Homo-oligomer: A and B are copies of this chain.
């Protein structure tokens, strides 16, 4: 609105920065490629760098005592990995793992934290993102308590699609089961159902979303709720 923003980056947060802010940040950013399965932070481990995914997709996973794992956050080109380190200790309680491989911009935590503490545009942007992220997590909590695995699977696929900008997702049922905190057999059944309905196509670790529209109708409301909140806080019409 008031300043020209920078359209270059595929990452929404970087793209939302003003040209001057972006230029001042640029020297501190390195483009890296994140391979599938790479663990960016271990549970209880240090956060030394933050990441701005381009078309990669990163999951925040809480690992329970029993070894069960549940995804509690999903970060793609819409956000930054490592925000928690800006608010207190540079320690991650979740396992943070690369789900879909692609590039990301990487920066030292210290640089980002300095910039953040300086206030102004950058802080405002990251606070807005934090809030949107918080909504995502809260909605996930409510969703996990009340919605069926089929609905949650549909929602989850939509969230992935939106963040990597692709209908094609390289994902095994085993992996999805870990994210949803359920059994692989359950995912298998749910995925079959979605395929039978003609919403997705499934084949050995590769999912294609065939009918986006119908998938949205099938999914629970949580997809829309979170999407709307992201748009309200970070979209083109968000007031800074």
Task: Answer whether residue A117 sits at the interface, using C-beta atoms and an 8 A cutoff.
Answer: yes
Q: Which of A12-20, A123-131, A162-170, A194-202 contacts B (4 or more CB under 8 A)?
A: A123-131
Task: Answer whether residue A32 sits at the interface, using C-beta atoms and an 8 A cutoff.
Answer: no
Q: How large is the interface on A (under 10, 10 to 19, 20 to 34, 35 or more residues)?
A: 35 or more
* This chain: copies in complex: 2
A131-142, CB under 8 A of B: which get 1 and which 0? 111110111111
Chain B residue, CB-CB nearest to A234: B88
Docked-complex contact A142 and B221, CB < 8 angstroms:
no
Chain B contacts for A238, CB-based, 8 A: 88
Known contacts A88-B128, A93-B135, A146-B181: does B221 contact A70 (CB below 8 Å)? no
Task: Answer whether residue A207 sits at the interface, using C-beta atoms and an 8 A cutoff.
Answer: no
Task: Answer whether residue A24 sits at the interface, using C-beta atoms and an 8 A cutoff.
Answer: no
Measured CA separation A44–B72 after assembly (Å): 23
Measured CA separation A116–B145 after assembly (Å): 34
Known contacts A93-B229, A138-B137: does B145 contact A88 (CB below 8 Å)? no
Docked-complex contact A141 and B88, CB < 8 angstroms:
no
* Residue among B119, B141, B146, B180 making CB contact with A140, cutoff 8 Å: B141
Q: Which of A1-9, A58-66, A100-108 contacts B (4 or more CB under 8 A)?
A: A58-66
Known contacts A119-B117, A137-B137, A221-B64: does B131 contact A88 (CB below 8 Å)? yes
A225-240, CB under 8 A of B: which get 1 and which 0? 1000100110000100
Task: Answer whether residue A73 sits at the interface, using C-beta atoms and an 8 A cutoff.
Answer: yes
Task: Answer whether residue A86 sits at the interface, using C-beta atoms and an 8 A cutoff.
Answer: yes
Task: Answer whether residue A144 sits at the interface, using C-beta atoms and an 8 A cutoff.
Answer: yes
Docked-complex contact B72 and A142, CB < 8 angstroms:
yes
Docked-complex contact A87 and B119, CB < 8 angstroms:
no
Chain B contacts for A78, CB-based, 8 A: none
Task: Answer whether residue A193 sits at the interface, using C-beta atoms and an 8 A cutoff.
Answer: no
CB distance from A175 to the nearest CB of B (A): 16
Apart from A68-B146, A72-B138, A134-B137, what are 9 other A-B pairs with CB-CB below 8 Å? A70-B141, A70-B146, A72-B141, A84-B131, A89-B232, A119-B119, A138-B141, A142-B144, A145-B182
Q: List 26 A-B contacts (CB under 8 A).
A: A62-B139, A62-B141, A62-B142, A64-B142, A64-B146, A64-B221, A66-B146, A70-B142, A72-B141, A84-B131, A84-B134, A86-B127, A87-B127, A87-B130, A87-B131, A88-B128, A88-B233, A89-B233, A93-B225, A119-B119, A140-B141, A141-B141, A141-B144, A144-B144, A144-B145, A145-B180
